[in-house]
C-alpha cells in the first residue's frame, strides 16, 4: 500500500512538472523577479522557495537590486501550486491536498508592492496572506514595510518554509491565545543593517488567521483580537567567523471572548535566543533556537501560563540545490510535544521543488510520512 501511494504521488509530480514545462515554454518568461533581472530561480533560492544568501540580500533590499542593474520584461505575477501528500491523514482529511497562491510584485516609483494571495484549500476561502508596501533607503541601509508581513525571524515560518511541517514553537497557541509566531502581522516594520548586524522592529494591530496556502477553518466559537498593539525587536549579528547570534523580544495583549462570556485581556511576552553556524564552505548548516513565553491570562480564568520550545536543525547541501536535513522540534504550553523530523528537498526543474519528510513523535511514537511538490508557473502580464 505504501509503495502504491508513493508511486501515485510521484506520478502526479511528474505530470505536474511536464505541465509546468509546457506552460513555461509557451510563456517565454521566468516568474516575477527572475524575468525582471534576467536571472534564474536558482540565483535566489537554494531549493524553491527557501532563499540563499543572494536571495536574502535581495529580500532585505525590498526586492530590488541596485539602480544600475538593468530591468527587463513585464511579469508582475506568478502562480505557486502545491500538492501535499500524507501517508496517514487524519480522519476526514485528504491524502492528497492541492493548494495554490498568486504571488505578485511591482515597483511603483521608489516603493515596492508585494502580494501573496492564497486561493484556499480544503474548504478555506481565498484571502490575502501577505500584502505590503516596502521602501529601501540605500544611504542608511534601512527597509520599511507597511501592511501584512511575516515577522522578521531568522527564517520564513510560512511562505518560504523549507519542510512540510512548521518549526517547533513557531506554530504554538497558548491557551486561548491563538496568535502564533508564524502568523503574518498587520502593521509597520523597520529593518536596518549596520555592518554585519541586522536589527528590526515592528508594531502591529492585527494578524492573518490561517495558513499560507489555505486550509479548512476550525470554528471554536472563541474570538481573539489585539487588545493593544504588539511591539517587537529582533536582532542578528556575528560573534565570530561563520557564527551568528540572534534574539527577539515580543510583547502585546490579546482580547479573548469565549462563547457567552465577557471579553478578557491576556498580556503576553515572548523571548528568543538562537545561534547559526556553517561548516565546509557552507555545505553543512547548523541552526538552533530557544523560545520562552509568558501569558498573564491565556486560559481566560486569570491564571498565568508559561510556554517554551524551539528547534535545532542540521542541514547538509549535497549540491547547492539539493539538501538533506534533520530537525528536533519542541514545544510546551504546558503540554509537551517533541518531534524528530528528517527531510530532503531538491529542485526538479528551475521552477519546481520536491520535499519528502519523515516525522517521529518522540512522546507518542510511530513515524508519519509526508511530501510536498511546489511549482511556480510563469505568468507574464502581456499575455
Give the integer Cα–Cα distance in Å for 299 and 3. 45
Give the integer Cα–Cα distance in Å for 383 and 377. 13
pLDDT of residue 379: 55
Cell of 23: 506552460
pLDDT of residue 137: 94
Give the integer Cα–Cα distance in Å for 282 and 370. 27
pLDDT of residue 221: 81
> Of 76, 50, 44, 120, nearest to 374 (Cα)?
50
Q: What is the pLDDT along the chain (383 residues), one digit of tens a residue?
A: 434 433 443 344 333 333 333 333 333 334 778 778 888 778 888 887 888 888 888 899 899 888 888 887 667 888 889 999 998 887 777 889 898 999 999 999 899 999 999 998 777 788 889 999 999 999 999 999 999 999 999 989 988 899 999 999 999 999 999 999 999 999 999 999 999 999 999 999 999 887 777 766 667 788 999 999 999 999 999 998 889 999 999 999 999 999 989 999 999 999 999 999 999 988 999 999 999 999 999 999 999 999 999 999 999 999 999 999 999 999 999 999 999 999 999 998 878 899 999 999 999 877 999 999 998 887 554 43
Query: Where do we find the cell 525582471?
Result: 36
- Buried (b) or exposed (e) across 19-30, using 16+ Cβ within 10 A? ebeeebeebebb
User: Backbone phi, then psi, for 160, in 5-degree steps?
Assistant: -115, 35
Q: What domains sit in the chain, N to C, each tagged with a CATH number?
A: 2-379 (2.40.160.10)
- Buried (b) or exposed (e) across 261-296, using 16+ Cβ within 10 A? eeebebbbebebebbbebeeeeeebebbbbbebbbb
Distances 232 to 153, 236, 252, 321, 346 between C-alpha atoms, Å: 11, 14, 9, 33, 34
Give the integer Cα–Cα distance in Å for 267 and 219. 23
pLDDT of residue 102: 92
Across the chain, the runs of DSSP E, i.e. the strands, are 77-86, 96-108, 111-118, 127-137, 142-149, 185-194, 197-207, 223-240, 243-257, 264-279, 284-295, 305-319, 322-332, 336-349, 352-361, 367-379
pLDDT of residue 11: 41
Rounded percentage of the chain residues whose pLDDT exceeds 90: 58
**Residue 351 burial class via C-beta count within 10 angstroms: exposed 0-12, middle 13-18, buried 19 and up:** buried
Query: Where do we find the cell 510556554?
Result: 307
pLDDT tens string 252-305? 999 999 998 999 999 999 999 999 999 998 899 999 999 999 999 999 999 999
pLDDT of residue 341: 97
Give the integer Cα–Cα distance in Å for 47 and 345. 7
* pTM to 2 decimal places: 0.86
pLDDT of residue 216: 63
DSSP 188: E
Distances 143 to 54, 63, 333 between C-alpha atoms, Å: 16, 10, 34
> Of 201, 161, 152, 203, nearest to 181 (Cα)?
152
Query: Where do we find the cell 496568535?
Result: 179
pLDDT of residue 29: 36
Give the integer Cα–Cα distance in Å for 183 and 207. 6
Give the integer Cα–Cα distance in Å for 18 and 22. 6
User: Backbone phi, then psi, for 323, in 5-degree steps?
Assistant: -130, 155
The neighbour count for residue 260, using CB atoms within 10 Å, is 6
Do 106 and 124 meet the contact criterion of CB atoms below 8 Å apart? Answer: no
CA 127 to centroid of chain Cα atoms: 16
Handedness of CA 357, 159, 347, 90 (dihedral sign): positive
Amino acid at each position: 500500500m505504501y509503495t502504491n501511494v508513493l508511486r501515485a504521488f510521484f506520478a502526479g509530480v511528474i505530470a505536474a512538472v511536464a505541465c509546468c514545462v509546457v506552460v513555461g515554454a509557451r510563456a517565454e518568461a521566468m516568474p516575477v523577479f527572475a524575468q525582471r533581472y534576467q536571472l534564474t530561480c536558482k540565483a535566489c533560492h537554494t531549493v524553491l522557495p527557501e532563499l540563499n544568501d543572494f536571495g536574502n540580500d535581495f529580500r532585505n533590499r525590498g526586492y530590488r537590486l541596485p539602480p544600475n542593474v538593468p530591468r527587463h520584461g513585464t511579469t508582475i505575477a506568478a502562480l505557486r501550486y502545491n500538492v501535499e501528500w500524507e501517508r496517514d491523514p487524519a480522519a476526514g482529511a485528504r491524502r492528497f491536498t492541492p493548494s495554490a497562491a498568486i504571488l505578485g510584485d511591482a515597483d511603483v516609483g521608489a516603493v515596492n508592492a508585494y502580494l501573496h494571495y492564497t486561493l484556499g484549500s480544503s474548504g478555506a476561502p481565498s484571502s490575502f496572506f501577505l500584502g505590503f508596501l516596502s521602501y529601501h533607503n540605500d544611504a542608511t541601509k534601512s527597509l520599511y514595510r507597511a501592511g501584512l508581513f511575516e515577522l522578521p525571524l531568522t527564517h520564513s515560518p510560512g511562505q518560504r518554509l523549507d519542510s512540510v511541517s512548521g518549526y517547533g514553537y513557531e506554530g504554538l497557541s497558548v491557551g486561548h491565545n491563538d496568535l502564533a509566531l508564524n502568523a503574518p502581522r498587520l502593521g509597520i516594520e523597520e529593518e536596518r543593517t549596520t555592518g554585519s548586524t541586522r536589527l528590526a522592529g515592528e508594531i502591529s494591530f492585527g494578524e492573518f488567521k490561517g495558513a499560507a496556502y489555505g486550509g479548512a477553518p476550525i470554528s471554536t466559537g472563541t474570538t481573539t483580537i489585539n487588545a493593544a498593539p504588539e511591539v517587537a525587536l529582533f536582532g542578528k549579528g556575528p560573534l565570530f567567523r561563520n557564527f551568528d547570534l540572534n534574539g527577539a523580544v515580543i510583547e502585546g495583549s490579546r482580547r479573548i471572548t469565549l462563547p457567552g462570556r465577557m471579553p478578557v485581556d491576556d498580556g503576553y511576552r515572548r523571548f528568543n535566543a538562537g545561534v547559526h553556524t556553517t561548516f565546509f564552505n557552507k555545505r553543512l548548516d547548523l541552526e538552533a533556537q530557544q523560545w520562552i513565553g509568558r501569558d498573564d491570562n491565556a486560559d481566560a480564568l486569570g491564571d498565568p501560563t508559561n510556554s517554551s520550545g524551539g528547534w535545532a536543525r542540521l542541514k547538509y547541501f549535497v549540491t547547492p540545490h539539493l539538501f538533506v536535513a534533520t530537525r528536533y522540534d519542541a514545544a510546551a504550553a504546558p503540554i509537551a510535544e517533541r518531534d524528530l523530523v528528517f527531510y530532503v528537498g531538491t529542485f526538479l526543474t528551475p521552477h519546481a521543488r520536491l520535499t519528502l519528510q519523515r516525522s517521529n513523535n518522540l512522546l507518542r511514537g510511530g513515524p508519519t510520512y509526508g511530501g510536498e511538490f511546489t511549482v511556480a508557473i510563469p505568468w507574464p502580464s502581456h499575455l
